Amino acid sequence: MADNLPSEFDVVVIGTGLPESIIAAACARSGQRVLHVDSRNYYGGNWASFSFSGLLFWIKENQQKTDNSDECEDWRKLILENEEVISLSKKDKTIEHVEDFCFGDQDSAEDVEEAGALPKLPVFGASGAEDVAQESEKESPAMESALPEAESQEPEGAAGSEPASAVEGGDTEISSGNESSHSAAESALELGKTEAAPSEIAAQEPKKITYSQIVREGRRFNIDLVSKLLYSRGLLIDLLIKSNVSRYAEFKNATRILAFREGKVEQVPCSRADVFNSRQLTMVEKRMLMKFLTFCLDYEQHPDEYQDYENSTFAQFLRTRKLTPSLQHFILHSIAMVSETDCSTLEGLQATKKFLQCLGRYGNTPFLFPLYGQGEIPQCFCRLCAVFGGIYCLRHSVQCLVVDKESGRCKAVVDHFGQRISANYFIVEDSYLSESTCKNVCYRQISRAVLITDQSVLNTDSEQQVSILTVPPVDLGKPAVCIIELCSSTMTCMKDTYLVHLTCPSTTTAREDLEPVVQKLFNLNREKETENEELEKPRVLWAVYFNMRDSSGIDKNSYDGLPSNVYVCSGPDSALGNDCAVKQAETIFQEMFPTEEFCPPPPNPEDIIYDEDEIAPEESGFSNSPEAKPEPSVEESGSGDSTAVKKEDNKE
């Protein structure tokens, strides 16, 4: 089957993380022939989301660190005398120190089966591209992670998970996706407004959730490897709207900003209405806060107020503004969300202004969260790429890059079937590069923890809250811990539970970095609570800690011996937003195609001119099928059309 894969493309993309997926979509949208492959059996790389069983499989895989790659022994025969190879890594070394803990009776879940799970099939060696796609759909628990139950098949099919018919698969599945989401970009994002005030009433006592229940309802979970939110006026939201990719996803508002101060969790007033309705602040504090926030919105117009403190930290600057300690704490840790020791005055003012500018666009906080998890976003861009002819192959590893000795440019890749595939440009995710290529690179690490709990860190009348909380460090110089708490209406956890993500730059192992914060906020006792204080805290039902490589901000010249037409995409960074990934994707695309527009808006149906010559069927299912191009373009129609109208377009 591998022989049916075309041997020439314009762009080959290795890895399906967010930057790679954006680049693949942009290239396909501009008419380039794109091959997008990933050695994993799921989309997203370190940006992925998993069901509970899928995450357990991922944990086991990273604890064992086994090498399951198939290698064709004859691939070196394809290398000519005037060529050399750059071998790629066969093991993912971006995840370390994985530790998981169950705080219930784990034995009781031994015979429990996941509701709605497909029967397990025997695993055979991949013999072709079609087998790769079928196995990745049927066998892998990780692939169940995208959407639970009725919607679970939509992301994979829509993104073209069957390499033999990527365009057709994207075409048919995107129709079903349109039925479940709003048609226009803005209306999809507006969904968060209606969901910000749910009608469910919090129970008087939290129900006792057992581990067996979590296993049984495992498909209700969509657990992100990386925890991020979308700024409502950030680069990613702007790109989703511009490209109309937002119609493939739905979003929910982050409903509240929390602060941890003097051992207590409290809600932070950040909008004008919140400030004046707050019972935490005195009238004097309310005036102080509003005056300072108003200044931050146009601080550039008043340089005389901060010029003397440009060499000071933002925390020192706040002390000069006659703000009370509680206001300084709120601004520093919950609004600007910056370091107390490392952030300059200008950086703090910029962060505060960004926060304030994002308020009110889609709700009372600056943030949106994608339903079904952050792992949906890379898949959305993969869908766009597939609609415009991109070909997708999961569990399809690449052995090496082939470099021409004379020109120094990369000419081709050789995959694990031994097939040589030529292209003009190559995009490689950092984790695929070998140790010899990365010997001069100094990586940072991110400490991550994911908890399943039985109640919120701050209970209110409504239990359906999406909260963000920054816990300042106990010791100066240590990083603050960012906590995002998700409720069941985000489609990331089962009813009566919460999914809590903790993230900070690493100083040691993830458990050592984050467990002190977990102990402050949560009850870790397995069955019997010994202190009354512990009874008031949310109980942790299950937890996992791990360290993830942060490869962001690394200069390309740091990689040893990479050709000029090979571009490296980084994995997730420790920041709350996604600006780094979007900037990187746009920069790489513009370097490759400086005259092309980056992810332009899709054409309207009436603007499409059908060429009879282009409707001729292609011989190979793998090919970049022209006959499928006009129809997806119709689907790309746009903004303002109702869902019903779009369905009719699809039928036509």
CA 384 to chain centre: 16
For the packed helices 18-29 and 579-592, what is the interaxial angle rounded to 10 degrees?
40
Angle at 183 between CA 178 and CA 185, to 5 degrees: 125
Q: What is the pLDDT of residue 114?
A: 75
Number of Cβ within a 10 Å radius of residue 137: 18
Kindly state the tokens that stand for 550.
């942060």
Higher pLDDT, 57 or 646: 57
Backbone phi, psi, residue 6, to 5° = -55, 150
Taking the alpha carbons of 508, 510, 514, 515 in that order, is the dihedral positive or negative? Answer: negative
How much is the pLDDT for 69?
Answer: 53
> Which residue matches tokens 């990933």?
38
452 within 8 A of 50, measured Cβ to Cβ: no
Please tell me the predicted confidence (pLDDT) of residue 636.
36
User: Mean of the per-residue pLDDT values for the chain?
Assistant: 80
Judged against a pLDDT cut of 70, whether residue 223 lies above it is answered with: yes
* Beta-strand pair 256-261/264-267: antiparallel
Confidence of residue 548 (pLDDT cuts 50, 70, 90): very high
- pLDDT, tens digit, 9 for 90 and up, residues 450-507: 999 999 999 888 888 999 999 998 887 789 999 999 999 999 999 999 999 999 999 9
Length of the chain measured in residues: 652
Strand duo 83-87 + 398-404: pairing: antiparallel
Q: If pLDDT is split at 50, 70 and 90, which confidence band does 206 have?
A: low
Count how many Cα atoms sit within 13 Å of the Cα of residue 281 in the half-sphere of its side chain: 27
Give the model's confidence band at 533: pLDDT under 50 very low, under 70 low, under 90 confident, else very high.
low
Condensed to tens digits (0 to 9), the pLDDT of residues 125-168 reads 333 334 433 444 434 433 333 333 333 333 333 333 333 334 33
Rounded alpha-carbon distances, angstroms, from residue 67 to 38, 90, 144, 399: 15, 7, 22, 14
Place of tokens 């396909």: 28
What b/e sequence results for 512-543 when a residue is b if at least 16 CB atoms lie within 10 Å of its CB, and e otherwise?
A: ebbbebbeebbbeeeeeeeeeeeeebbbbbbb
Report the alpha-carbon distance of residue 182 to residue 191 in Å, rounded: 8
Per-residue pLDDT, averaged over 270-281, amounts to 80
Joined together, the tokens standing for residue 598 give 């980056």
pLDDT tens sequence across 54-71: 999 999 999 886 665 555
374/576 Cα distance (integer angstroms): 12
Please say whether the beta carbons of 247 and 182 come within 8 A: yes
Inter-residue contact 52 to 148 (CB < 8 Å): no
pLDDT, residue 181, reads 40
Q: Using one digit for the tens of pLDDT, what is the confidence trace for 172-197?
A: 333 333 333 434 444 444 444 444 44
What residues have CB less than 8 Å from 582, skipping those under 6 apart? 19, 22, 235, 236, 239
Q: How many Å apart are CA 331 and CA 323, to the nearest integer?
A: 10
Residue 443 pLDDT more than 70? yes
Please give the pLDDT value at position 487. Answer: 95
Rg (CA), the chain: 25
Q: Which regions of 88-144 does DSSP assign to beta strands (E)?
A: 95-102
- The rounded distance, in Å, linking the Cα atoms of 377 and 383 is 10
Q: How far apart are CA 99 and CA 543, in angstroms?
A: 8
383: three-class secondary structure by DSSP: helix
Angle between helical axes of 235-243 and 18-29 (0-180°, round to 10): 30
> pLDDT value at position 375?
96
Mean local confidence (pLDDT), 408-412: 94
Q: What share of the chain is helix, strand, coil (3-state, %, to 5)?
A: 40, 20, 45
For the stretch 340-382, pLDDT in tens is 888 999 999 999 999 999 998 998 899 999 999 999 999 999 9
Amino acid at 2: A
Whole-angstrom Cα distance, residue 284 to residue 10?
Answer: 63
pLDDT tens figures, 584-596: 999 999 999 999 9
Question: Six-digit token pair at 152?
Answer: 């679970």
pLDDT of residue 273: 80
> Which element (helix H / strand E) includes 318?
helix 314-319
The burial class, CB within 10 Å (0-12 / 13-18 / 19+), for 74 is exposed
Average pLDDT of 261-266?
Answer: 90
User: SS3 for 459?
Assistant: coil
Phi, psi (degrees; rounded to nearest 5) at 265: -95, 130
Instruction: Give the residue-averaged pLDDT of 45-56.
Output: 96
Residue 422 β-bridge partners: 8, 412
- Rounded to 10 deg, the angle between the 235-243 and 376-387 helix axes is 30
In terms of pLDDT, which residue wins out, 637 or 303? Answer: 303
| Residue 572: predicted pLDDT | 96
At residue 438, the pLDDT reads 92
CA torsion through residues 120, 121, 126, 130, sign:
negative
- Enumerate the β-bridge partners of residue 256: 467
583 to 212, 294, 501, 592: CA distances (angstroms): 43, 29, 25, 14
Is 121 a residue whose pLDDT tops 80?
A: no
Pick left, alpha or beta for residue 22 (phi over 0 → left; psi -120 to 50 → alpha; otherwise beta): alpha
Predicted confidence at residue 500, as pLDDT, reads: 98
Q: In the prediction, which pLDDT does 161 show?
A: 37
The band of 209, judged by pLDDT with boundaries at 50, 70 and 90, is confident
Phi, psi of 99, rounded to the nearest 5 degrees: -135, 125
3-state SS class at 86: strand
Segment among 66-70, 294-298, 335-339 with least mean pLDDT: 66-70
- pLDDT over 70 at 81, yes or no: yes
Strand, coil or helix: 264: strand
Give me the mean pLDDT over the 595-623 stretch: 66
Tell me the residue type at 604. Answer: N
Q: How does residue 336 score in pLDDT terms, banded at 50, 70 and 90?
A: very high
Q: Give me the residue label for tokens 């994608």.
A: 370
Give the mean pLDDT of 274-281.
Answer: 82
pLDDT at 108: 65
Rounded Cα gap, residues 339 and 401, in angstroms: 41
Closest CA to 346 of 392, 299, 379, 382: 299
Q: What proportion of the chain, given as a percentage, has pLDDT over 70?
A: 73
Q: Which of 23-27, 91-95, 120-124 has maximum average pLDDT?
A: 23-27
Q: Which of 95, 46, 87, 49 minimizes the C-alpha distance to 69?
A: 87
CA atoms within 13 A on the CB side of 253: 21
| Top-confidence residue, 417 or 76 | 417
Top mean pLDDT of 103-117, 199-213, 288-302 is at 288-302
Helices 185-195 and 235-243, interaxial angle, to 10°? 130
Q: What span, in angstroms and rounded, lies between the C-alpha atoms of 244 and 602?
A: 7
Residue in the structure block whose two tokens are 């690493």:
506
pLDDT for the residue numbered 46: 96
Instruction: Give the span between the Cα atoms of 646 and 652, in whole angstroms.
Output: 10
Strands (E), 337-480: 367-370, 391-394, 398-404, 410-415, 420-422, 425-429, 444-453, 467-471
